Amino acid sequence: MDAVQLAATASDTSAPADGLRAVASLRTLVESLELRQVEQALRSGESWSSIAAALGVTRQAVHKKYAKRLRHISAPERGQR
């Protein structure tokens, strides 16, 4: 099922079990996409602060969530601003 179909299923309240499964699948998809975007932003030289601002969270929150998962990106590559 693609993201559009998942969103349609997630918003349809006539079958709550299906809707909840779709919400869980969307959450997994969004987490994966967010990780990819954060990784690319760091590789492109963005700071944790600018990434946090784009996501609408604090720098500390985004750093806590992703710093350990993205250790493989070297410090200069991360754009330590």
Q: What is the pLDDT of residues 46-71, one digit of tens each?
A: 999 999 999 999 999 999 999 999 98
H helices within the chain, ranges in order? 3-11, 16-43, 48-55, 59-66, 75-78
pTM to 2 decimal places: 0.81
Tell me if 41 sits within 8 A of 34, measured CB to CB: no
**Helices 59-66 & 16-43, crossing angle to 10 degrees?**
100
Encoded tokens for 47: 């700071």
Encoded tokens for 26: 């969307």
CB atoms within 10 A of CB 48: 22
Q: Is it the case that residue 78 has pLDDT exceeding 80?
A: no
For residue 20, what pLDDT is reported?
A: 98
> How confident is the model over 4-26, as pLDDT tens digits?
999 999 999 999 999 999 999 99
